[in-house]
Structure 1
Amino acid sequence: MKKPIYTLIILSLLLTACSFGDDDGGNQELPFEVTIIPDITVQVDEVLNRPPGSDITDLVDFGQPSGVSTSDFTLEVQFGQRIIFDQPTSGLGLNQGILYSRLAFFEENPADPGVFDVPVDTLDLYGSLFDKSVADPGSGNAVEFPGDNNRSLSSFLNLEVIGQDNTEELEYKYEIEVAIYDDETVVGYYVIDPKLIVRANN
């Protein structure tokens, strides 16, 4: 008779543990949904005067305060927030646009404070902090770039902070690789290089 009693005790403990787990999950505050849409202004004609591969950060404006350069402009986000990079609000001619491609993150170099040149594994970063989404290939918001093996480029880029366990403030430089759509021609790539801070969950 001892065996069934032990079995009942173990089952009871398991059910109790599961109940506590459910209660904790149910009592957690849902993430607040906040969308941040940078007010992007790109001087496209000036961009096209530069060769592909150029850093065009100085030609892009994110609507930052006067006196703050785009390279120093820092977006601050936290869990549950989404950043949307969309089409520029001005600076575009007829049949022109900006197309989003790759994204890379960099941490501060311990040997050179203030310099963010240590690459971060984007798979780890996206898995723990960010969910990235772009237009699906073949959709109305996607354009193929023949110069990159017909890679699909997107008219928007969404980043949502999905990490829940960051207990300290995280600061990154991030590079957005873009191409320019100019009258049915895709020209690129170019790099935009601002900053990002992920606030701690407290």
Structure 2
Amino acid sequence: MQSFLKGKGLWKYVTGDLKPLKKDDPKFDDWEINNNKILTWIANTVTPSISMQFGRFDTAKDVWDFMSRRYLQSNFARKYKLEQDLRSLRHQKGQFVSEFHSQMTIIWDELALMEPKWTTGAELWYNYREEMWLVQFLMALQDDFETIRATILHRSPLPTVESALSELFAEETRKGLLPNPSSVFVVTSHPRGNYSKGKST
């Protein structure tokens, strides 16, 4: 929602940087239209039991603040569940490495959103997180990849997830696990937590 509203140039309505206008202000109609657009978009993206509580609020900021106060406290429980899912996730027999990486990336991305906004030592943290993701991913692979997994884990410095994936895809192809030799899945991973992108060619 944040990305969507920023793309529409309306995020300041939610943060309160763009204050409500008085009815005699020439720009009031535009402000009211945009405010109600945001209220509608938010209401349409949450469950009815939540949106029914929005009736007592007049501005998008009020609704956003309400949801932050009410539901932010559940972040720890959500984080706990995600960490639990991550540790139980295992590469299944016959499952492509690309498919398994996508499953793990969904969890990584959501966990990354829960991290604090780093103001100092950010680069060190991102490098540490990249190494942590690499270890988590490699350890969850099936035993067919033990040889290449051991090779990657003993390198210094460790490669990025993206670099390791290239080698794993090659190993997958060598073992004949892909449906045909022309099937390639390209994956990019950024140490700063950007969403991974994949496309088949």
Same fold per TM (> 0.5)?
no
After TM superposition, the score normalised by the length of structure 1 is 0.27
Q: Higher relative contact order at CA 8 Å, sep ≥6: structure 1 or structure 2? A: 1
After TM superposition, the score normalised by the length of structure 2 is 0.27
Higher strand share: 1
Higher helix share: 2
